[in-house]
Amino acid sequence: MHLCEVCYDEFPGTQFFKMNECSHAFCHTCMQAFCELHITAGTVEELRCPTQKCDSIVPPYIIQTVLPEEAYDRWEKLLLQKTLDSMEDTVYCPRCGNVVIVEEEKELNLAHCPLCFFAFCTLCERVWHQGRSCETEEDLLEDLQQRDTSGMTHAVQRKFEELRKKLETEMKTKATVKKSTRPCPKCKIPVEKIGGCNKMTCKCGAFFCWVCGRAINGYNHFSAGSCPLFPGQVQAAVGVPVRMPNNAVIRMQAMLELNPDLQNNRCYCPMCKQQNLKSLDRNNHIKCWNCKTNFCFLCKQRISGVVSAHFVGPCTQHS
């Protein structure tokens, strides 16, 4: 007979699980309840030995034994997601949600999604803008107000305005959410503060300051720095700006929704990988709206020098 350190009941040894690393033993019922609790809450990183001050990881075979197949699959997915979130060289594509590996040149802040071919900035998660600073929310709103729609057809202009209003509403909603949350400096997941002091604990186990957003270890940050331990009249932490697609992207989306046949006119810039749309004038000369690169719609090659010289060869300028 053995004593379970959780429920303090005695059971035969056959009804116990023994941890591999620390040799602590717990009854089947307590281990099942323990695993189900963390799987339901999504805190898979807390699946460690229930003994106080013991940090041994619960072996996967125990989790698989006590959980039904559906719950075990959820554990695997959550563990994979937590692992990816903790990796500094991976991000999620803001367009399709696929996991993307960041380019090795860190100063570029560039990531290419292999699934939807979206090239985006890892800082603002908008279209990659080589050599240019990330646009602020004020810049985006000013750009929307100054947008000239006189050159659009009535149908495209109406669809453009509908999409713009929809995006403005989404932007305001996201801005409201971001005011009440701070991203964890380790896993980047938004954390909401309900009450208490300014020392925050994320589900990934990281500690950070609610005021400045920096990762911390203990309470020394509040005694040595300018951030108070408890809420008061302090300067709010700078939130992550809410980003909107470029007007060129909105216009292409509006044209595609009005004329689905234009799907075959889509092409990608050979330099920045951004999607462009061949116009109805059948001109095969494309000038990328993002990086201003000239390229050919037919051969998808970059055009250097005189544009007309490229179309003397096998590629025709209009088709």
Distance set, CA 197 to CA 13, 16, 161 (Å): 45, 40, 44
**Predicted pLDDT at 27:** 92
Q: Domains (ranges, CATH) in the chain?
A: 2-86 (3.30.40.10), 135-258 (no CATH), 269-319 (no CATH)
**Predicted pLDDT at 96:** 86
Is the pLDDT at 62 greater than 50? The verdict is yes
Q: List, for residues 167-216, the tens digit of each pLDDT value.
A: 677 777 777 777 778 888 887 778 888 777 888 888 777 889 988 888 88
Is the pLDDT at 57 greater than 50? The verdict is yes
Q: Which residues are catalytic?
A: 197
Q: Are 191 and 200 in contact (CB under 8 A)?
A: yes
- φ and ψ at 17, to 5 degrees? -105, 135
User: At 81, is the secondary structure helix, strand, or coil?
Assistant: helix
pLDDT tier at 296 (50, 70, 90 boundaries)?
A: very high
Q: Are 317 and 309 in contact (CB under 8 A)?
A: no
pLDDT tier at 145 (50, 70, 90 boundaries)?
A: low
Q: List, for residues 124-144, the tens digit of each pLDDT value.
A: 888 888 778 887 665 666 666
